[in-house]
Chains A and B, each alone.
Chain A
Amino acid sequence: MNLNDREVILYAFAIEPNHDRQTVERYLRQYPEIAEDLIDISSERRLREAAWVQSNDAIADPHWKEAWEQFRQHKPQGVSSGQAVSPFSTFRGQAFAKLAETLSVPRSFLTALRDGLVQASSIPERFVRRLAQTMGSSIDSLRNYFANPQASLLGRAFKSDDKPSQQGQVTFEELVQCTNMSTEQRQRLLEDCKDYGLDRGRPAEG
């Protein structure tokens, strides 16, 4: 199992609706090699679920509550365990670098997409198509993935001594504007936006 698979499994486990004994045992049977992490998360989850259900005041820190609310809001809808396999899971390290190069986008542009930092609805069809083609995955699975941000966005909250932090999203076009790249690269991505049919203010030089 590579690290990425492990993350995916842990994520799926983390967002299980509950972490009762059956659920934990099911995961432990299937993935004994990451038992330690599963137990780690399960006790953390159980504690929080318990605290949440018992009393809204069990954890008295209002900031914690705020953060928890945000965390809950980010919980993807309609994702069941095992479904959330990231199309990026096979693009790690040099493969990722190559992918960015082939697409002619800066790596940070791609990580923003990978990490769910971009509003799914703002991602132009043409770009998704190009991406799917280069990655060798289906447009639908990419669309589905973008609509249900996961991976590191929520992965960050796994550690018990971290409180979940608020994380905003940007539009595709905003991302194009705020990423350093060559004029040609920018031009091409903005063309993608145009193709999407939503002309939301091109840059002056465009």
Chain B
Amino acid sequence: MDSIEVGRQKAERLHKDGVAYGHNPWEPYGFVCAEAARRDLIVEEVAKGDVRLYGGRAVYDADSLLIIHEQSGDRFTDAFLVAHEIGHAEFGGGEAPSQATKIDPLQASEAVPLGVDRVVDYSHRQRREVLMNVFAREFLLPRSWMRDLHLDERLTAAEIASKCGAPHAVVAQQLLDALLLPPIVIPEESQVANLPLTTDQSAAAEHDGTPLLLEAGPGTGKTKTLVGRIEYLISKGVDPASILVLTFSNKAAGELSERIAARHPQAVASMWIGTFHGFGLDIIRRFHDRLGLPRDPRLIDRTDAIGLLEDEYPRLGLKHFKDLQDPTGNLAEILAAISRAHDEVVDANAYRKLAEVMLTRAGDDRERLQSECHLEVAKVFAAYEKLKLDAGSIDFGDLVALPVRLLETHEDVRAHLASRYKHILVDEFQDVNRSSVRLLKALAGNGRNLWVVGDVKQSIYRFRGASSFNVARFGREDFGGGERRRLTRNYRSVKEIVDVFSTFAAVMPSSKDSEVGLDADRGPSGYEAEYRSVDFVDDEITAVAETIHNMREAGYRYRDQAILSAGNERLTRFADHLEHLGIPVLYLGSLFERDEVKDLLSLLSIIIDRRPMGLLRVAALRGYATPLSDVVNFLAYVRELDCGPMKWYAALDNAPDLSGPGRSALRRIGDLLNGFLPGSNPWDVLATVLLDRTRMAAEFAVAPDVRSKSQALAIWQLMNFLRVQPSAPGLPIYRVLERIRRLVLLADERDLRQLPIAAQGIDAVRLMTMHGSKGLEFSVVHIPGLNEGSLPRSAAAMVAHGISPPDGMIEGAEGKGTDAVKAALLEEQECLCYVALSRARDRLFLYSPTKKSNGHRCARSSFIDRLAGHLQVQHIRPALSINALEENAVPITFEGRVVYTDRQLSLYERCPRRFLYTHVLELGGRRRETAFMKLHVAVQKVVDAMRNREALTTDQLKALFEETWVAAGPVDHGYRDEYKSIAWQLIRFYVESVGDMRVQPSEELRLAVDGGEVVVTPDQQLAGASGQIVMRRVNTGHKHSKEDEKLAAAAFQLAATMHRPGCRVELVHLSDATVTPVSLSAQKLANRRQSLSDVSRAVGAGHFPAKAEITCPRCPSFFICGRLPEGSFTKKILA
């Protein structure tokens, strides 16, 4: 995207020129017309749809020195159209008149890396239009001007907008860019990139006659050679339109495109450069009718797919993947299995056949179970394909799989495309999966003009189906007669580092039997790579911190240094602690779980929540600080009022029990959001908050520290995300909050962790995953966490989650599907390490702790042992130390003894923080009500109604159920009958499980523990014929693992046997149709009793730490979780 930034900066300069010339930027249309005239151009207006517009909205014609634009009806839009065309005039390059069709004053300079944008990058021509949109906005309202107006003259976005007649959104977008992003420094053209190709490189670039696989290790000039190849083809007179260049990321495609455009602007416009997925989508659009799809099929992501399947779920009748509470998790796993099948071009039918074969061959129960699971996946697969087709949608997996099937079954289409693309080039060939190879085979025929480059040692996308198998087959089974060449000289790293990763590679399974050594062009530096062991995990952080300081003294800036880790958890910990140690770090982490982002999301939630729990978080913000007790009292008052969203604002004066400062702080929060409606657009709301109603963005703009800069980047990223949301019915704020929950739950927000390009100039240590470091380089690289079990992780642990493919699905893998997955994952770990090691230019430091926190030995990674002889080894005892970043106790006083129920207790056990929000502060809160949730509510109501009642006749029961169902069940759902029949089954089980026992009134059981009391009210008390008493807890959902051994169960058993010695205690789970006895041993009961006292004391002491779990997004308090307002709070007893 560099050319866009170049264009933006040029627009900014031209704007200043115009102002210096005396033109008035506050009159945008007059300004652009005067600027056009200064360029000898005349601006003419015509009606919309005039023939001279050729279907567009504006035209620039160099031959007649003319800009024509439509009369848009809005002067700013007119000005924007003219500015857009002035951009074309400034940049030239088109012999044909330029014509603007897609005018977007809000065009983002960086696309949001989610959804369709992730797949389809702008084509060269579109990129030009993007550039002109960015140019036009900048020419009219340059960032520097906006910044000055907001910071120095203190004008709000709304004031600027009204003064120059521009839409608020456009001014706001400019201000957000100007205030939240650091200024971008355009890097000098890399010297190496401009050097001529070396002999090896040019021999590879000019290869002719057979398919070529160029093995290009790290730092050997891979991209340069690829560009060289394209330039060679152009120089030979090859028609650029016949060149197809396939890459794995839009970023790579964009970079290639720009590098070629610099010297061959005409040629690049007609080449096809983009990702496999983007190319696939292009084919699907071109031949949509052959695929039975609409002209522009909707691309759905995993979140959409789960939504589609969730509706269908009650009809599928699954056994192994049954989840009557929330099928999201199972569906996500099944979708991953389906996506893996797509990688191998295996459709639902073929999948089912594979599963059937497995079933017939199954030798034991475990194998039978596995096969049955696969059959269920096949069932969902078939249903999913049909749902997609009916909806005219496709998913990411289809983008390559559908074109493959199309080309393999329609010879005319294949012939047409094969004759169109005579030269096919593939970047990162090690990352292709089987379906991509089949696409290439169909397109390239004998592959004479196929040219691919890759490094099998850097294959880190195994989970996407990439396989060294494809590299191994090149020139043999695939693309027979193909040759291989190898680039052998590394231009990036010093010899010591090249030796380290080459030594590592020598025994990598994916590169066995092949040459892996590289010559280091830079020669030796005199500094060996170092391995620094430390005692404990925390010492690792301080050891890294000290090394960072040392390297800084040696002349390396923070930004020259990177910390690479296999997983995000370690990075989060490092980021927190390094920041406390005063080292600036650049790490966004999980965007939606960052404090400043949660603050804004909580603010949004207030607008739509009847019970505005978001107040609790906002009340902790500077400028809005409200004492804790005031917020809690006020929320209790709002709960009683039971009014619509934001109606509390008007009732603020009447609220009792508020302190003066508290009341006025709450008023300020109300003022901040006043006037917004539940239907407001989230981007508009936050833009107004940031730029009109507060000086928040302004404060970020002037804050000098890296932490604030990271926060500003995170907010910018959030706003960029909010700006483009898929359109759907419902309240936009509610929808976006639900979408965020789901994205986090499915870990589909990872791409948002990438830093915007503008972050490049910030002087801070880079923290990133090894995956994320691919293709980058740093002067100094630190790799902590090199322990056995961390890297490499055990394959068994990795395949514990997820569904392994059925046997025989993965082409080239013999034997069990599970084994194939394990082998691939192990290979991937090796590749990850190789990638990480080879990122370093000058210095490389590896770290690992040697002891666990309990003092037990913690073995270092076998990967380190492999590098023996190439590492300088030392054990470090850092002088620095880190303070535990503990959460402070919540200052709560309980009046009287703490009393709570067993259900509350089990919540504390799951997450003490959630216990605080739910039972101490009683926030309540809004969650998405799925059909399943409604089903459970209805069943629970029936169970409650039957408590303490004699057995009902079937008719009575049916009547009760009908009545409850109508009131609480998902009666509006398309599949209500299916849901109802499931609910009825649950109730039937509930009734049947009683058998011939008699229902007795259940009694309240109290159990005293140190510092408190637990109250248990059984859902059922039964008496058997022999007088045996049975007490039951009835749960409508599924049983959690070891639920019968948890604290709540123990409290139940303790309380029940105390009241009724010898009674039986049971847990009933209706969704599982099980009855589980609770019969903990005396020893266990004694332990649990101790734990119960511990919990009581912890609650009394205000100890409510959050337990971060992958299920957090399901928690009602997800957005507010974290900071609390200042002050203390007195709580009456709990239960």
Contacts and interface: CB of A to CB of B under 8 A. Distances in A.
Interface of A: 3-4, 6-7, 35-36, 39-40, 43-44, 47, 50-51, 55, 57-63, 92-94, 96-97, 100, 106-108, 110-112, 114-115, 117, 152, 155-156, 158-161, 165-170, 178-180
Given A60-B413, A92-B63, A159 B269 contact: yes
Given A58-B416, A165-B54, A165-B55, A180 B65 contact: no
B51 A170 contact: yes
Nearest to A162: B125
B52 A94 contact: no
Contact of B51 (A6, A51, A92, A167): A167
Nearest to A166: B55
Contacts of A160: 241, 270
B865 interface: no
B287 interface: yes
Contacts of B266: 36
Contact of B44 (A60, A108, A152): A108
B239 A179 contact: no
Interface string B543-582: 0000000000000000000000000000000000000000
A112 B42 contact: no
Contacts of B54: 156, 165, 167
Name the 7 nearest CB pairs between A and B, nearest first. Answer: A43-B239, A108-B44, A107-B66, A117-B51, A96-B64, A160-B241, A92-B63
Given A63-B295, A97-B42, 20 more contacts: A36-B237, A40-B270, A43-B241, A44-B239, A61-B295, A62-B289, A93-B62, A96-B65, A97-B40, A108-B52, A110-B64, A111-B63, A112-B52, A152-B97, A159-B96, A159-B270, A161-B270, A165-B55, A166-B55, A180-B45
A111 B66 contact: yes
A40 B412 contact: no
A4 to B, nearest CB: 8
Nearest to A62: B289
A46 B64 CA distance: 33
27 contacts: A35-B237, A47-B420, A50-B419, A60-B287, A62-B289, A63-B295, A93-B65, A97-B64, A106-B42, A107-B42, A107-B44, A107-B65, A108-B68, A110-B64, A112-B51, A117-B51, A158-B96, A159-B96, A159-B125, A161-B125, A165-B54, A167-B55, A170-B51, A179-B46, A180-B44, A180-B45, A180-B46
B61 interface: yes
B290 interface: yes
B365 interface: no
Interface residues of B, number: 43
B458 interface: no
B19 interface: no
> Most B CB atoms within 10 A — which of A43, A97, A108?
A108
Interface of B: 40, 42, 44-47, 50-52, 54-55, 61-66, 68, 95-97, 99, 123, 125, 237, 239-242, 266, 269-270, 286-290, 295, 412-413, 416, 419-420
A51 B417 CA distance: 11
Contacts of B290: 60
A66 to B, nearest CB: 12
Contacts of B97: 152
Contacts of B420: 47
Contacts of B286: 59-61
> Most A CB atoms within 10 A — which of B239, B266, B288?
B239
Contacts of B288: 61
A161 B63 contact: no
A70 B461 CA distance: 47
Contacts of B269: 159, 161
Given A39-B239, A63-B295, A180-B45, A94 B40 contact: yes
A39 to B, nearest CB: 6
Contacts of B125: 159, 161
B47 to A, nearest CB: 6
Given A92-B63, A159-B270, A111 B96 contact: no
Contacts of B242: 43
A159 B124 CA distance: 12
A47 B419 contact: yes
Contacts of B123: 161
B412 A58 contact: yes
Contacts of B95: 3, 6-7
A93 B39 CA distance: 11
B50 A178 contact: yes
Contacts of B52: 108, 111-112, 115, 117
> Most A CB atoms within 10 A — which of B46, B51, B55, B125?
B51
A146 to B, nearest CB: 14
Contact of A178 (B47, B61, B416): B47
Contacts of A62: 289
A108 B239 CA distance: 35
A40 B64 contact: no
A82 B896 CA distance: 103
Contact of A40 (B61, B240, B413): B240
B416 A51 contact: yes
Contacts of A158: 96
Nearest to A37: B266
A99 B695 CA distance: 55
Nearest to B286: A61
A36 B266 CA distance: 10
B596 to A, nearest CB: 42
Contacts of B239: 39-40, 43-44
A168 B288 CA distance: 28
Nearest to B66: A107
Contacts of A92: 63-64
A48 to B, nearest CB: 11
Contacts of A59: 286, 416
Nearest to B63: A92
B403 to A, nearest CB: 13
A166 B47 CA distance: 18
Nearest to B68: A108
A181 to B, nearest CB: 9
A97 B241 contact: no
A106 B52 CA distance: 13
A58 B55 CA distance: 28
Given A107-B44, A158-B96, A180-B45, A61 B63 contact: no
A50 B412 CA distance: 12
Contacts of A170: 51
A96 B63 contact: yes
A159 B55 CA distance: 17
Contacts of B413: 60
A107 B64 CA distance: 7
A100 B46 CA distance: 17
Nearest to B410: A60
A55 to B, nearest CB: 7
Nearest to A114: B64
A85 to B, nearest CB: 15
Contacts of B50: 178
B415 to A, nearest CB: 8
A61 B1130 CA distance: 71
A144 B125 CA distance: 35
Nearest to A64: B286
Nearest to A96: B64
Nearest to A174: B51
A168 B50 CA distance: 10
Nearest to B123: A161
A40 B241 contact: yes
Contacts of A169: 51
A156 B65 CA distance: 18
B63 A93 contact: yes
Nearest to A4: B63
Nearest to A44: B241
A187 to B, nearest CB: 19
Contact of A156 (B45, B96, B416): B96
Contact of B287 (A43, A44, A61, A165): A61
Nearest to A42: B239
A110 B241 CA distance: 34
